[in-house]
Structure 1
Amino acid sequence: HILALRQREAESSHLRQAVEMLEARDFDEGSVSKRIRAREEEIGLALQAKQKELELFAALLQMRDRQIGDLQEMCEAKQAEIVQLQSAPPPPQPVDALGNMQ
């Protein structure tokens, strides 16, 4: 967020300098180089902001990958539990005092 604000400030400064130069019809080497430096600063800040954005997306992707892996492990464990329950012999039926199944 701070980088975006700094980028906007640099862009605003660049545009003010361009307007001042055009209004004064001042196209000397100093004013042109000042505009170029301002533009380079603006571009540098934009690149920094994009780099931070990419780092954020990379961190989010890593987190999602971990979540997917955790979910996959949980599903596999549940599936193994279901298979185990399905292959287990049925529990014995209760028998009354006469030996009859209830």
Structure 2
Amino acid sequence: MGDTRPTAPILDGDLKDPKIFYHNAAYKTNRVAINLEKMKVLKERLGDCVREEGVNYIDKCEQLTRRYEAIVRVCQWQSGKNQRARNVGGILDREKDIKAELRAEGALA
């Protein structure tokens, strides 16, 4: 039996189609689960770093702290008017650039 987890969302086509809707929902749920596991691993590693470094943990564990804070922001599941756009990895900036290029080519109205 093959791997049934979706590897990418379907962005083109009728998003109200049940097959596409459930595919995208499964993809989002899968990504959230993966990020939660990453968060658990980083939390353990950060705790180990703090215990090992003692009073110098602020300087020595700074990189792990930043990664943990970033993954916590990604894992927050907010919806509605409280939801804020998360520019993880600059994806929103790239999306704006792509749309600007398509408008310049005349492909996007």
TM (normalized to structure 1)?
0.42
> Comparing both chains, which one has the higher relative contact order based on Cα–Cα distances under 8 Å and sequence gaps of 6 or more?
1
Larger radius of gyration between Structure 1 and Structure 2: 1
TM (normalized to structure 2)?
0.40
Identify, as 1 or 2, the structure richer in helix.
Answer: 1
